[in-house]
């Protein structure tokens, strides 16, 4: 009997993880679309504005994005903490797939712009990357939390679009967007520092989100006691 229930529980758990992974892949593809339009237009402000279509698709369709989920890391259960890792891996798979597909099309020359962007990022120092990633994490938390808590559709759209445009125009580092740029500029995988910098961006994005999300969470927990 216990074995039967164990199989049912494990089966449900795998289905949940698979669901999260698929939604994370779709989120990665959405970011790839945002990154593609950013690289395709000549106007940087316009590209920054249009990049937000990726996050808008993710939030309206319920896809899973690492920089959207990590801000809620400490207030959710243990299963959610595992899901965050699955989301990161799914996002990477989605952005890599997006880059692979783009490189098969007539717009593949945008990979040259991605390569130039990647060269700038990988020539930077780790502390700079980390600080820029922290600021990006803060803005992404503002975007996602603002979208989730706003009641009116117009406010949801503004909350989603403005922080994204700001982090791009400021040159802040978004680990998932960079997964796409790294994948599009295939030569990125020849740089030994790529994986290290991606990890630094991942941690910086997390810390940025926690700066805004953890203090209110801790205060609310104290008031409950």
Which residue range forms the structural domain that includes residue 28? 2-217
Residue 7 has pLDDT above 50, yes or no: no
CB atoms within 10 A of CB 68: 24
Task: Specify the pLDDT at position 222.
Answer: 56
Q: Average of pLDDT values for 205-218?
A: 87
pLDDT of 215:
77
Residue at 116 is within a domain: yes
Residue 93 in any domain: the answer is yes
Q: Residue 86 belongs to a domain with what CATH number?
A: 1.20.1080.10
Chain centroid offset of residue 107 CA: 24
Give burial (CB, 10 Å; 0-12/13-18/19+) of 58: buried
pLDDT of the residue at 8: 45
The residue-averaged pLDDT of 143-162 equals 92
pTM (two decimals)? 0.90
Q: Is the pLDDT of residue 37 over 70?
A: yes
| 223 within some domain | no
> How many domains does the chain fold into?
1
Residue 225 within any structural domain of the chain: no
């Amino acid at each position: 009997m216990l074995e039967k229930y164990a199989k049912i529980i494990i089966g449900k758990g795998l289905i949940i993880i698979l669901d999260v992974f698929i939604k994370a892949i779709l989120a990665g593809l959405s970011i790839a679309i945002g990154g593609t339009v950013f690289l395709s237009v000549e106007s940087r402000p316009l590209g920054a504005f249009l990049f937000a279509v990726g996050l808008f698709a993710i939030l309206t369709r319920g896809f899973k994005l690492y920089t959207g989920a990590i801000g809620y890391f400490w207030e959710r259960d243990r299963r959610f903490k595992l899901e965050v890792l699955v989301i990161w891996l799914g996002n990477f798979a989605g952005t890599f797939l997006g880059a692979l597909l783009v490189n098969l099309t007539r717009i593949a020359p945008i990979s040259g712009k991605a390569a130039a962007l990647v060269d700038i990022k990988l020539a930077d120092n780790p502390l700079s990357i980390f600080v820029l990633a922290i600021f990006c994490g803060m803005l992404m938390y503002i975007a996602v939390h603002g979208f989730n808590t706003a009641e009116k559709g117009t406010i949801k759209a503004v909350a989603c679009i403005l922080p994204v445009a700001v982090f791009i125009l400021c040159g802040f580092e978004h680990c998932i967007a960079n997964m796409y740029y790294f994948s599009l500029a295939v030569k990125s995988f020849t740089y030994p520092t790529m994986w290290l910098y991606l990890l630094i961006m991942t941690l910086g994005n997390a810390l940025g989100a926690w700066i805004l999300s953890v203090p209110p969470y801790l205060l609310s927990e104290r008031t409950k006691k």
